[in-house]
């Protein structure tokens, strides 16, 4: 599980570096970020962001609205493919601890993000997730394999400075550890930065 999180983090740093270099080029400066009204049809720009927050993991069948609370970090990197639509690579990790141990879950998805208005957007992704459980001594007790996942987010831009925006994001992801039961839900809220 930590290997998946580490690989996702390294990949996101690499993509952030590529995005930063693309932003520095004169051609990229013309079509920068999710500018909706002024961006010509068919042009594209980078969308790169990180959202820290808080969330809760729960087993839908047993505890649909409760759960183990923890810290959540989400990273997304992608490109605008239409003035109001971006394709993104999105990774979200939750790190929750409770009595006698901790649970880490990482969900990585390919997502589409659509801006309904200039400041309101929705994101839907399909991907994979996995979980590891650790005991009191931080020893790994159990680890899942990679399982199918669905992620959903709704965001509202609360501030903008140039091409940088601050977004309030409400998210949910579902990971099916078995097909008809053992679906783990992560619900989270965070305040993030997008370039």
Q: How confident is the model at residue 136 (pLDDT cuts 50, 70, 90)?
A: confident
Gap between the Cα atoms of 68 and 95, Å rounded: 10
Q: Which of 14-23, 58-67, 137-146, 183-192 holds the top average pLDDT?
A: 183-192
DSSP structure string for the chain: -HHHHHHHHHHHHHHHHHHHHHHHSHHHHHT-SS--SSSPTT---EEEEEEEEEEEEEETTT-SS--EEEEEEEEEEEEEEETTEEEEEEEEEEEEEETTEEEEEEEEEEEEEEESSSSEEEEEEEEEEEEEEE-TTS-EEEE---EEEEEEEEEEEEEEETTEEEEEEEEEEEEESSSSS-EEEEEEEEEEEE-
Gap between the Cα atoms of 28 and 19, Å rounded: 9
Considering just the CA atoms, what is the radius of gyration of the chain in Å?
17
Q: How confident is the model at residue 31 (pLDDT cuts 50, 70, 90)?
A: very low
Q: How confident is the model at residue 118 (pLDDT cuts 50, 70, 90)?
A: confident
**Domain interval for residue 78:** 2-194
State mean pLDDT over 157-171: 92
Residue 52 dihedral angles phi and psi, to the nearest 5°: -85, 155
pLDDT of 135:
87
State mean pLDDT over 109-121: 95
Q: How confident is the model at residue 13 (pLDDT cuts 50, 70, 90)?
A: very low
Rounded mean pLDDT of the chain? 80
- The whole-model pTM stands at 0.75
Q: Find out whether 123 and 153 touch, Cβ atoms under 8 Å.
A: yes
What does the pLDDT look like over 44-103, one tens digit per residue? Answer: 588 999 999 999 988 877 765 567 899 999 999 999 999 899 999 999 999 998 777 888
pLDDT of 150:
96
CATH number reported for the structural domain that contains residue 59 in this entry: 2.40.160.20
Number of domains within the chain? 1
């Amino acid at each position: 599980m930590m290997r998946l999180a580490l690989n996702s983090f390294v990949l996101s740093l690499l993509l952030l570096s590529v995005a930063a270099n693309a932003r520095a080029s004169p051609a990229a400066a013309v079509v920068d970020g999710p500018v909706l009204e002024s961006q010509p049809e068919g042009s594209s720009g980078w969308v790169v962001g990180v959202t820290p927050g808080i969330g809760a993991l729960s087993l839908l069948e047993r505890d649909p609205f409760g759960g183990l609370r923890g810290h959540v970090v989400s990273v997304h990197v992608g490109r605008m493919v239409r003035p109001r639509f971006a394709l993104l690579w999105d990774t979200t990790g939750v790190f929750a601890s409770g009595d006698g141990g901790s649970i880490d879950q990482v969900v990585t998805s390919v997502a589409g993000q659509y801006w309904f208005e200039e400041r309101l957007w929705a994101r839907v992704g399909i991907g994979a997730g996995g979980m590891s459980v650790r005991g009191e001594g931080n020893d790994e007790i159990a680890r899942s394999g990679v399982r199918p996942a669905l992620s959903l987010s709704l965001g509202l831009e609360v501030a903008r400075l140039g091409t940088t925006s601050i977004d309030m994001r409400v998210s949910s992801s579902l990971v099916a550890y078995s097909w008809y039961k053992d679906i783990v839900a992560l619900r989270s809220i965070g305040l993030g930065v997008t370039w």
